[in-house]
């Protein structure tokens, strides 16, 4: 913890990642079209922070992402489910674990592979996927625990009004949304996180030579 905050480079990295998170959340840049769905990438700075700076920094960045999501839900709700994210149990709590899980997945794979940049690359891919799935799974879990009845009512009403034509029932909608979002976001996270992290690792290696 002390080492993290005493290193100016680490603090700068955290500041840059937070700034990028806010920009992604506030602009269309935060969503990448993948086929018929849009994959959010606002959690990628948190995954990067966890993998590069460790679990404590990942936890801090994840908490920051959650707060940004909370403010978004309160000030700029768009979908029928956005107001539910005004509850920190839904918007903040799940995001706290994104960077932490990404780091431990990366660290475990890197220790097993043990092959320099190749090990870092493989570890980053797995870490990014785990971090992304952590985000999707925990958000869905908290939505279910806290707002199950409200969500069923909102979605079922939207289906009946033909606002949602992607699924005939709430169950089908939930399964389709979870699987498509989870896969699309994990795919994008793996590509972008790996590209950025590997470039960072290479830079660090040449810098320390």
- In three-state form (DSSP H/G/I as H, E/B as E, the rest C), the secondary structure along the chain is CHHHHHCHHHHHHHHHHHHHHHHHHHCHHHEEEECCEEEECCCHHHHHHHHHHCHHHHHHHHHHHHHHHHHHHHHCCCCCCHHHHHCHHHHCCHHHHHHHHHHHHHHHHHHHHCCHHHHHHHHHHHHHHHHHHHHHHHHHHHHHHHHHHHHHHHHHHHHHCCCCCCCCCHHHHHHHHHHHHHHHHHHHHHHHHHHHHHHHHHHHHHHHC
Q: What is the mean pLDDT of the chain?
A: 86
pLDDT at residue 21 tops 90: yes
- pLDDT for the residue numbered 102: 98
Range among 36-40, 82-86, 197-201 with highest mean pLDDT value: 197-201
Confidence of residue 92 (pLDDT cuts 50, 70, 90): very high
- pLDDT for the residue numbered 34: 64
Of the candidate ranges 117-126, 133-142, 200-209, the one whose mean pLDDT is the lowest: 200-209
Q: What is the mean pLDDT of residues 111-120?
A: 87
CB 83 within 8 A of CB 73: yes
Percent of the chain with pLDDT over 70: 84
Confidence of residue 3 (pLDDT cuts 50, 70, 90): confident
Q: In the CATH hierarchy, which top-level class contains the domain 2-208?
A: mainly alpha
127 burial via Cβ count (<10 Å: 0-12, 13-18, 19+): buried
Please, what is the angle between helix 44-53 and helix 170-208, to 10°?
Answer: 40
pLDDT at residue 2 tops 80: no
Q: What is the mean pLDDT of residues 12-18?
A: 95
In the chain, where the domains are located: 2-208
pLDDT at residue 54 tops 70: yes
- pLDDT for the residue numbered 11: 92
Instruction: Tell me how far apart the alpha carbons of residues 128 and 44 are, in angstroms, rounded to a whole number.
Output: 8
Q: Is the dihedral of CA 192, 194, 197, 200 positive or negative?
A: negative
Percent of the chain with pLDDT over 90: 55
**pTM of this structure:** 0.88
pLDDT at residue 207 tops 90: no
- pLDDT for the residue numbered 1: 59
């Amino acid at each position: 913890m002390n080492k993290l905050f005493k290193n100016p480079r680490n603090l700068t990295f955290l500041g840059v990642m937070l700034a990028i998170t806010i920009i992604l959340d506030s602009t269309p840049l935060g969503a990448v079209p993948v086929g018929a769905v849009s994959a959010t990438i606002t959690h990628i700075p948190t995954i990067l922070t966890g993998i590069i700076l460790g679990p404590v920094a990942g936890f801090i960045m994840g908490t920051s992402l959650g707060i940004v999501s909370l403010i978004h839900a309160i000030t700029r709700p768009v979908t029928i489910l956005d107001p539910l994210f005004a509850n920190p149990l839904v918007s903040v709590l799940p995001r706290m674990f994104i960077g932490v899980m990404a780091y431990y997945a990366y660290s475990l794979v890197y220790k097993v592979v043990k092959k320099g940049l190749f090990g870092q690359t493989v570890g980053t891919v797995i870490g990014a996927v785990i971090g992304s799935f952590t985000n999707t799974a925990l958000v869905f879990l908290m939505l279910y625990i806290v707002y199950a009845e409200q969500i069923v009512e909102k979605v079922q009403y939207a289906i009946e009004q033909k606002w949602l034509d992607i699924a005939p029932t709430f169950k089908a909608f939930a399964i389709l949304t979870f699987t498509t979002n989870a896969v699309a976001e994990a795919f994008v996270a793996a590509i972008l996180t790996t590209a950025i992290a590997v470039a960072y690792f290479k830079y660090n290696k040449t810098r320390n030579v």
